[in-house]
Amino acid sequence: MNGHDGADGRTANRRRFLAGTGAAGMASLAGCSAALDLLSGDEDSGGDDEPGLIGSGREGRDAPGGTPMSEMPDLSGTLTLYSGRGEPLVGELISYIVDTYDDFEIEPRYNSSTDLVNQIRQEGEASPADVFFSVNAGALGLLADENLAATLPDDVAGKVDSVYRDDDDQWVGTSGRARTIPYNTNQFSESDIPDDIFAFPDADQFQDSMGWAPSYGSFQAFVTAMRILNGEDEARSWLEGMIDQGVEPYSDEFTVARRIADGELGAGFTNHYYIQRVVDNRDDPPIATAFTEGDAGTIFNVAGAAVVSATDQSDLAANFIRHLLSAEAQEYFAVRTFEYPLIAEVEPVGELPTIDKLNPPELDLTRLSEIGPTLDLMREAGIDV
Protein backbone atom coordinates (compact mmCIF):
# COMPACT_ATOMS: atom_id res chain seq x y z
CA MET A 1 0.00 0.00 0.00
CA ASN A 2 1.21 3.52 -0.73
CA GLY A 3 0.48 5.29 2.50
CA HIS A 4 1.35 8.85 3.42
CA ASP A 5 2.57 10.00 6.82
CA GLY A 6 0.84 12.94 8.43
CA ALA A 7 -1.14 15.87 7.11
CA ASP A 8 1.58 16.97 4.66
CA GLY A 9 1.53 13.59 2.93
CA ARG A 10 -2.24 13.55 2.81
CA THR A 11 -2.29 17.10 1.36
CA ALA A 12 0.11 16.07 -1.42
CA ASN A 13 -1.97 12.98 -2.12
CA ARG A 14 -5.09 15.17 -2.22
CA ARG A 15 -3.55 17.50 -4.82
CA ARG A 16 -2.70 14.56 -7.07
CA PHE A 17 -6.18 13.10 -6.68
CA LEU A 18 -7.99 16.37 -7.42
CA ALA A 19 -5.76 16.92 -10.43
CA GLY A 20 -6.56 13.41 -11.62
CA THR A 21 -10.32 13.76 -11.24
CA GLY A 22 -10.30 16.89 -13.37
CA ALA A 23 -7.97 15.53 -16.07
CA ALA A 24 -9.20 14.48 -19.45
CA GLY A 25 -9.96 10.80 -19.85
CA MET A 26 -12.79 8.29 -19.66
CA ALA A 27 -13.43 4.85 -18.23
CA SER A 28 -16.10 2.29 -18.94
CA LEU A 29 -19.17 2.24 -16.76
CA ALA A 30 -21.43 -0.78 -16.73
CA GLY A 31 -25.15 -0.04 -16.73
CA CYS A 32 -27.61 -1.73 -14.46
CA SER A 33 -30.60 -3.84 -15.34
CA ALA A 34 -33.66 -2.91 -13.33
CA ALA A 35 -34.38 -6.63 -13.12
CA LEU A 36 -31.25 -7.00 -10.99
CA ASP A 37 -32.17 -4.26 -8.60
CA LEU A 38 -35.63 -2.72 -8.88
CA LEU A 39 -34.87 -0.31 -6.08
CA SER A 40 -31.86 1.15 -7.79
CA GLY A 41 -33.02 4.55 -9.00
CA ASP A 42 -29.56 4.60 -10.55
CA GLU A 43 -27.58 2.35 -12.82
CA ASP A 44 -24.29 1.72 -11.08
CA SER A 45 -23.69 -1.98 -11.52
CA GLY A 46 -24.84 -4.92 -13.51
CA GLY A 47 -24.64 -5.74 -17.19
CA ASP A 48 -26.57 -3.74 -19.76
CA ASP A 49 -25.26 -4.16 -23.30
CA GLU A 50 -24.83 -0.40 -23.62
CA PRO A 51 -22.15 1.00 -21.29
CA GLY A 52 -22.16 4.53 -20.01
CA LEU A 53 -19.15 6.74 -19.39
CA ILE A 54 -17.45 8.15 -16.35
CA GLY A 55 -16.83 11.83 -16.86
CA SER A 56 -13.61 13.80 -16.90
CA GLY A 57 -15.08 16.93 -15.36
CA ARG A 58 -14.71 20.57 -16.22
CA GLU A 59 -11.33 22.11 -16.99
CA GLY A 60 -10.41 25.22 -15.01
CA ARG A 61 -12.66 24.24 -12.13
CA ASP A 62 -11.81 25.96 -8.83
CA ALA A 63 -10.58 23.88 -5.90
CA PRO A 64 -13.52 22.50 -3.93
CA GLY A 65 -14.64 23.87 -0.59
CA GLY A 66 -15.62 21.77 2.37
CA THR A 67 -13.46 19.84 4.81
CA PRO A 68 -10.42 18.09 3.30
CA MET A 69 -9.47 14.61 4.46
CA SER A 70 -6.30 16.04 6.02
CA GLU A 71 -8.52 17.69 8.63
CA MET A 72 -10.49 14.52 9.37
CA PRO A 73 -9.68 11.77 11.88
CA ASP A 74 -7.14 9.22 10.65
CA LEU A 75 -8.44 5.86 9.47
CA SER A 76 -6.72 2.67 10.61
CA GLY A 77 -7.61 -1.00 10.65
CA THR A 78 -9.65 -3.03 8.17
CA LEU A 79 -13.16 -1.97 7.16
CA THR A 80 -15.62 -4.25 5.37
CA LEU A 81 -17.67 -2.27 2.90
CA TYR A 82 -20.85 -3.65 1.36
CA SER A 83 -21.21 -1.48 -1.73
CA GLY A 84 -24.30 -1.23 -3.90
CA ARG A 85 -22.37 1.32 -5.93
CA GLY A 86 -20.45 -0.39 -8.71
CA GLU A 87 -16.68 -0.65 -8.63
CA PRO A 88 -16.29 1.16 -12.01
CA LEU A 89 -17.90 4.22 -10.41
CA VAL A 90 -16.46 4.30 -6.90
CA GLY A 91 -13.41 2.02 -6.97
CA GLU A 92 -11.03 4.88 -7.72
CA LEU A 93 -12.34 6.88 -4.77
CA ILE A 94 -12.12 3.91 -2.41
CA SER A 95 -8.54 3.23 -3.52
CA TYR A 96 -7.65 6.86 -2.92
CA ILE A 97 -8.96 6.76 0.64
CA VAL A 98 -7.04 3.53 1.32
CA ASP A 99 -3.82 4.96 -0.14
CA THR A 100 -4.14 8.05 2.04
CA TYR A 101 -3.46 6.06 5.23
CA ASP A 102 -0.61 3.68 6.06
CA ASP A 103 -2.60 1.41 8.34
CA PHE A 104 -6.00 1.29 6.65
CA GLU A 105 -7.53 -1.34 4.40
CA ILE A 106 -10.99 -1.70 2.85
CA GLU A 107 -12.48 -5.06 1.92
CA PRO A 108 -15.25 -4.15 -0.55
CA ARG A 109 -18.05 -6.50 -1.52
CA TYR A 110 -19.96 -5.28 -4.56
CA ASN A 111 -23.51 -6.32 -5.36
CA SER A 112 -26.89 -4.70 -5.96
CA SER A 113 -28.08 -2.55 -3.06
CA THR A 114 -31.17 -4.69 -2.55
CA ASP A 115 -29.20 -7.94 -2.46
CA LEU A 116 -26.79 -6.47 0.08
CA VAL A 117 -29.61 -5.40 2.40
CA ASN A 118 -31.00 -8.92 2.21
CA GLN A 119 -27.56 -10.33 2.92
CA ILE A 120 -27.09 -8.13 5.99
CA ARG A 121 -30.55 -9.15 7.19
CA GLN A 122 -29.70 -12.83 6.81
CA GLU A 123 -26.32 -12.45 8.51
CA GLY A 124 -27.81 -10.59 11.47
CA GLU A 125 -25.41 -9.91 14.32
CA ALA A 126 -22.82 -12.08 12.59
CA SER A 127 -22.60 -9.76 9.59
CA PRO A 128 -19.02 -8.78 8.78
CA ALA A 129 -20.25 -5.54 7.18
CA ASP A 130 -19.13 -2.31 8.81
CA VAL A 131 -20.58 0.15 6.26
CA PHE A 132 -23.38 -0.19 3.72
CA PHE A 133 -22.91 2.08 0.69
CA SER A 134 -26.14 2.28 -1.29
CA VAL A 135 -27.06 3.54 -4.72
CA ASN A 136 -30.42 4.80 -3.46
CA ALA A 137 -32.33 6.01 -0.42
CA GLY A 138 -34.87 3.21 -0.67
CA ALA A 139 -32.36 0.50 0.21
CA LEU A 140 -30.99 2.64 3.04
CA GLY A 141 -34.50 3.00 4.38
CA LEU A 142 -35.00 -0.76 4.28
CA LEU A 143 -31.81 -1.24 6.30
CA ALA A 144 -32.92 1.30 8.89
CA ASP A 145 -36.44 -0.14 9.07
CA GLU A 146 -34.94 -3.53 9.92
CA ASN A 147 -32.97 -1.93 12.79
CA LEU A 148 -29.76 -2.88 11.03
CA ALA A 149 -28.26 0.63 10.92
CA ALA A 150 -26.60 2.48 13.79
CA THR A 151 -27.09 6.16 14.57
CA LEU A 152 -24.44 8.39 13.00
CA PRO A 153 -22.62 11.05 15.03
CA ASP A 154 -24.18 14.50 14.75
CA ASP A 155 -21.06 15.96 13.17
CA VAL A 156 -21.21 13.37 10.36
CA ALA A 157 -24.92 13.39 9.56
CA GLY A 158 -25.04 17.16 10.07
CA LYS A 159 -22.76 17.75 7.08
CA VAL A 160 -25.78 17.14 4.83
CA ASP A 161 -29.10 18.96 4.72
CA SER A 162 -31.79 17.16 6.73
CA VAL A 163 -33.77 16.52 3.53
CA TYR A 164 -31.04 14.15 2.35
CA ARG A 165 -30.55 12.06 5.48
CA ASP A 166 -32.61 9.83 7.73
CA ASP A 167 -34.79 11.55 10.34
CA ASP A 168 -33.03 9.51 13.02
CA ASP A 169 -29.58 9.94 11.43
CA GLN A 170 -29.26 6.24 10.64
CA TRP A 171 -28.05 7.00 7.12
CA VAL A 172 -26.78 10.02 5.24
CA GLY A 173 -26.77 10.89 1.55
CA THR A 174 -23.38 11.16 -0.14
CA SER A 175 -24.37 12.33 -3.64
CA GLY A 176 -27.58 12.97 -5.53
CA ARG A 177 -29.31 12.90 -8.87
CA ALA A 178 -32.19 14.96 -10.17
CA ARG A 179 -34.87 13.96 -12.64
CA THR A 180 -34.75 16.24 -15.65
CA ILE A 181 -36.14 16.93 -19.10
CA PRO A 182 -33.24 16.87 -21.61
CA TYR A 183 -34.10 18.53 -24.91
CA ASN A 184 -32.54 19.16 -28.30
CA THR A 185 -31.65 22.84 -28.58
CA ASN A 186 -32.00 22.79 -32.38
CA GLN A 187 -35.64 21.77 -32.01
CA PHE A 188 -36.73 23.54 -28.83
CA SER A 189 -35.89 26.48 -26.63
CA GLU A 190 -36.07 26.34 -22.86
CA SER A 191 -39.37 28.23 -22.93
CA ASP A 192 -40.90 25.38 -24.97
CA ILE A 193 -40.39 22.92 -22.10
CA PRO A 194 -43.28 22.84 -19.59
CA ASP A 195 -42.41 23.20 -15.91
CA ASP A 196 -45.31 20.88 -15.00
CA ILE A 197 -44.80 17.16 -15.59
CA PHE A 198 -48.53 16.70 -16.22
CA ALA A 199 -48.42 19.11 -19.19
CA PHE A 200 -46.37 16.76 -21.38
CA PRO A 201 -49.12 14.35 -22.52
CA ASP A 202 -51.13 17.28 -23.94
CA ALA A 203 -48.22 19.28 -25.38
CA ASP A 204 -48.61 19.04 -29.17
CA GLN A 205 -44.98 19.97 -29.81
CA PHE A 206 -43.85 16.66 -28.33
CA GLN A 207 -45.98 14.34 -30.46
CA ASP A 208 -43.78 11.42 -31.60
CA SER A 209 -40.63 13.21 -30.43
CA MET A 210 -39.98 12.06 -26.84
CA GLY A 211 -38.15 9.09 -25.36
CA TRP A 212 -38.09 7.24 -22.04
CA ALA A 213 -36.57 4.08 -20.52
CA PRO A 214 -39.42 2.43 -18.58
CA SER A 215 -37.38 -0.63 -17.52
CA TYR A 216 -34.79 1.55 -15.77
CA GLY A 217 -34.85 1.83 -11.99
CA SER A 218 -34.58 5.62 -12.16
CA PHE A 219 -37.68 5.91 -14.30
CA GLN A 220 -39.59 3.50 -12.08
CA ALA A 221 -38.61 5.54 -9.01
CA PHE A 222 -39.97 8.63 -10.81
CA VAL A 223 -43.30 6.89 -11.52
CA THR A 224 -43.35 5.67 -7.92
CA ALA A 225 -43.02 9.27 -6.77
CA MET A 226 -45.87 10.30 -9.07
CA ARG A 227 -48.05 7.48 -7.77
CA ILE A 228 -47.39 8.43 -4.14
CA LEU A 229 -47.77 12.17 -4.65
CA ASN A 230 -50.71 12.19 -7.06
CA GLY A 231 -52.42 8.83 -6.72
CA GLU A 232 -52.64 5.82 -9.00
CA ASP A 233 -55.35 7.25 -11.26
CA GLU A 234 -53.35 10.35 -12.18
CA ALA A 235 -50.16 8.37 -12.61
CA ARG A 236 -51.91 5.87 -14.89
CA SER A 237 -53.49 8.68 -16.89
CA TRP A 238 -50.07 10.31 -17.34
CA LEU A 239 -48.49 7.08 -18.54
CA GLU A 240 -51.34 6.41 -20.97
CA GLY A 241 -51.18 10.01 -22.20
CA MET A 242 -47.47 9.70 -22.96
CA ILE A 243 -48.10 6.46 -24.83
CA ASP A 244 -50.71 8.31 -26.89
CA GLN A 245 -48.06 10.96 -27.55
CA GLY A 246 -45.97 8.28 -29.21
CA VAL A 247 -43.17 8.31 -26.65
CA GLU A 248 -40.41 5.94 -27.77
CA PRO A 249 -39.06 3.33 -25.30
CA TYR A 250 -35.32 2.72 -24.94
CA SER A 251 -33.29 0.28 -22.87
CA ASP A 252 -31.54 2.94 -20.81
CA GLU A 253 -31.49 6.67 -20.15
CA PHE A 254 -28.00 7.29 -21.49
CA THR A 255 -29.29 6.14 -24.87
CA VAL A 256 -32.24 8.53 -24.55
CA ALA A 257 -29.82 11.42 -23.93
CA ARG A 258 -27.63 10.45 -26.88
CA ARG A 259 -30.60 10.17 -29.22
CA ILE A 260 -31.67 13.66 -28.19
CA ALA A 261 -28.19 14.98 -28.97
CA ASP A 262 -28.32 13.14 -32.32
CA GLY A 263 -31.58 14.90 -33.18
CA GLU A 264 -33.54 11.63 -33.36
CA LEU A 265 -35.59 12.76 -30.35
CA GLY A 266 -36.69 16.22 -29.35
CA ALA A 267 -36.81 15.60 -25.59
CA GLY A 268 -37.09 12.89 -22.97
CA PHE A 269 -37.00 11.88 -19.33
CA THR A 270 -33.63 11.07 -17.70
CA ASN A 271 -31.46 11.63 -14.66
CA HIS A 272 -29.40 14.79 -14.97
CA TYR A 273 -25.98 13.17 -15.26
CA TYR A 274 -26.71 11.38 -18.53
CA ILE A 275 -26.90 14.77 -20.19
CA GLN A 276 -23.56 15.76 -18.66
CA ARG A 277 -21.95 12.55 -19.92
CA VAL A 278 -23.06 13.39 -23.46
CA VAL A 279 -21.78 16.95 -23.13
CA ASP A 280 -18.45 15.74 -21.72
CA ASN A 281 -17.82 13.37 -24.61
CA ARG A 282 -19.00 15.40 -27.60
CA ASP A 283 -18.04 18.71 -29.10
CA ASP A 284 -20.84 21.15 -28.21
CA PRO A 285 -23.80 18.79 -28.69
CA PRO A 286 -27.26 20.36 -29.09
CA ILE A 287 -28.64 19.16 -25.76
CA ALA A 288 -29.66 21.08 -22.65
CA THR A 289 -31.34 20.41 -19.31
CA ALA A 290 -34.76 21.60 -18.15
CA PHE A 291 -36.55 20.98 -14.86
CA THR A 292 -40.16 20.79 -13.83
CA GLU A 293 -41.21 22.46 -10.57
CA GLY A 294 -42.25 20.79 -7.33
CA ASP A 295 -43.55 17.56 -8.85
CA ALA A 296 -42.41 13.99 -9.51
CA GLY A 297 -40.64 15.18 -12.66
CA THR A 298 -37.95 16.80 -10.53
CA ILE A 299 -37.60 14.16 -7.82
CA PHE A 300 -34.14 14.14 -6.24
CA ASN A 301 -32.79 10.77 -5.09
CA VAL A 302 -29.56 10.12 -3.24
CA ALA A 303 -26.85 7.53 -2.91
CA GLY A 304 -25.74 7.23 0.69
CA ALA A 305 -24.13 5.27 3.48
CA ALA A 306 -24.94 3.78 6.86
CA VAL A 307 -23.02 2.18 9.68
CA VAL A 308 -24.19 -1.43 10.00
CA SER A 309 -25.43 -2.02 13.55
CA ALA A 310 -23.58 -5.36 13.86
CA THR A 311 -20.17 -3.73 13.49
CA ASP A 312 -17.71 -3.65 16.36
CA GLN A 313 -15.93 -0.76 14.64
CA SER A 314 -18.57 1.93 14.80
CA ASP A 315 -16.08 4.81 15.15
CA LEU A 316 -14.05 3.66 12.15
CA ALA A 317 -17.22 3.11 10.11
CA ALA A 318 -18.58 6.57 10.95
CA ASN A 319 -15.26 8.20 10.13
CA PHE A 320 -15.15 6.43 6.78
CA ILE A 321 -18.58 7.88 5.98
CA ARG A 322 -17.23 11.25 7.11
CA HIS A 323 -14.56 10.84 4.40
CA LEU A 324 -17.29 10.29 1.77
CA LEU A 325 -18.44 13.83 2.66
CA SER A 326 -14.95 15.32 2.41
CA ALA A 327 -14.00 17.97 -0.13
CA GLU A 328 -12.11 15.38 -2.19
CA ALA A 329 -14.92 12.82 -2.27
CA GLN A 330 -17.60 15.38 -3.07
CA GLU A 331 -15.47 16.79 -5.87
CA TYR A 332 -15.02 13.24 -7.17
CA PHE A 333 -18.77 12.72 -7.32
CA ALA A 334 -19.15 16.04 -9.14
CA VAL A 335 -16.48 15.65 -11.84
CA ARG A 336 -16.25 11.87 -12.27
CA THR A 337 -19.81 10.57 -11.85
CA PHE A 338 -21.50 13.93 -12.64
CA GLU A 339 -23.74 13.60 -9.61
CA TYR A 340 -24.83 16.41 -7.33
CA PRO A 341 -22.47 16.87 -4.37
CA LEU A 342 -24.40 17.06 -1.10
CA ILE A 343 -22.22 19.56 0.73
CA ALA A 344 -22.92 23.17 -0.12
CA GLU A 345 -19.26 24.04 -0.66
CA VAL A 346 -18.94 21.88 -3.81
CA GLU A 347 -20.92 22.76 -6.94
CA PRO A 348 -22.18 20.36 -9.63
CA VAL A 349 -20.53 20.18 -13.02
CA GLY A 350 -22.31 21.72 -16.00
CA GLU A 351 -24.88 24.43 -16.48
CA LEU A 352 -27.02 23.19 -13.62
CA PRO A 353 -28.68 24.98 -10.72
CA THR A 354 -26.98 24.37 -7.39
CA ILE A 355 -28.72 21.90 -5.12
CA ASP A 356 -30.36 24.66 -3.05
CA LYS A 357 -31.98 26.05 -6.24
CA LEU A 358 -33.73 22.82 -7.16
CA ASN A 359 -37.42 22.52 -6.37
CA PRO A 360 -38.21 18.84 -5.75
CA PRO A 361 -41.48 17.83 -4.11
CA GLU A 362 -41.66 16.98 -0.43
CA LEU A 363 -41.35 13.20 -0.27
CA ASP A 364 -39.76 10.69 2.06
CA LEU A 365 -37.12 9.29 -0.30
CA THR A 366 -37.22 5.87 1.33
CA ARG A 367 -40.75 5.45 -0.04
CA LEU A 368 -39.23 5.14 -3.49
CA SER A 369 -38.64 1.52 -2.49
CA GLU A 370 -42.40 0.89 -2.91
CA ILE A 371 -41.83 -0.35 -6.43
CA GLY A 372 -44.25 -3.29 -6.64
CA PRO A 373 -47.46 -1.27 -7.10
CA THR A 374 -45.63 0.90 -9.62
CA LEU A 375 -44.73 -2.05 -11.82
CA ASP A 376 -48.32 -3.26 -11.66
CA LEU A 377 -49.52 0.20 -12.65
CA MET A 378 -47.11 0.44 -15.57
CA ARG A 379 -48.18 -2.96 -16.88
CA GLU A 380 -51.85 -1.95 -16.58
CA ALA A 381 -51.03 1.09 -18.72
CA GLY A 382 -49.61 -1.20 -21.40
CA ILE A 383 -45.89 -0.76 -20.70
CA ASP A 384 -43.63 -3.81 -20.98
CA VAL A 385 -41.55 -3.95 -17.78
Span 143-156, pLDDT tens digits: 999 999 999 999 99
The predicted pLDDT at position 31 comes to: 29
Average pLDDT, the chain: 88
Question: 90: helix, coil or strand?
Answer: helix
For 204-260, write each residue's pLDDT tens digit: 999 999 999 999 989 999 999 999 999 999 999 999 999 999 999 999 999 999 999
Range with the lowest mean pLDDT among 40-49, 60-69, 124-133? 40-49
Q: Looking at beta carbons, which pairs linking 199-207 to residues 24 or more positions away fall under 8 Å?
A: 200/238, 200/241, 200/242, 200/245, 201/237, 201/238, 201/240, 201/241, 201/242, 201/244, 201/245, 202/241, 203/245, 205/266, 206/245, 206/266, 206/267, 207/245, 207/246
For 254-263, write each residue's pLDDT tens digit: 999 999 999 9
CATH topology of domain 6-176+301-348: D-Maltodextrin-Binding Protein; domain 2 (3.40.190)
For range 186-195, the mean pLDDT: 97
The DSSP bridge partners found for residue 307 are 131
Residue (of 23, 49, 122) closest to 82 by Cα position: 122
Q: Do the domains spanning 6-176+301-348 and 177-299+360-380 agree at the CATH topology level?
A: yes
143 touches 306 (CB < 8 A): yes
Q: Rounded CA gap, 31 and 236, in Å?
A: 27
The predicted pLDDT at position 52 comes to: 42
The DSSP bridge partners found for residue 305 are 133, 172
CATH number of 177-299+360-380: 3.40.190.10
Contacts of 16 (CB under 8 A, 6+ apart): none
> What single letter denotes the amino acid at residue 11?
T
> Taking the domains of the chain in order of start, what are their residue ranges?
6-176+301-348, 177-299+360-380
Q: Rounded CA gap, 335 and 286, in Å?
A: 21
Q: How many CB atoms lie within 10 A of CB 14?
A: 22
Question: 304: helix, coil or strand?
Answer: strand
The predicted pLDDT at position 62 comes to: 79
Structure pTM? Answer: 0.86
> At 64, is the pLDDT very low, low, confident or very high (cuts 50, 70, 90)?
confident
The predicted pLDDT at position 29 comes to: 25
Question: 175: helix, coil or strand?
Answer: strand
> At 17, is the pLDDT very low, low, confident or very high (cuts 50, 70, 90)?
low
Question: 168: helix, coil or strand?
Answer: coil
Q: How many CB atoms lie within 10 A of CB 372?
A: 10
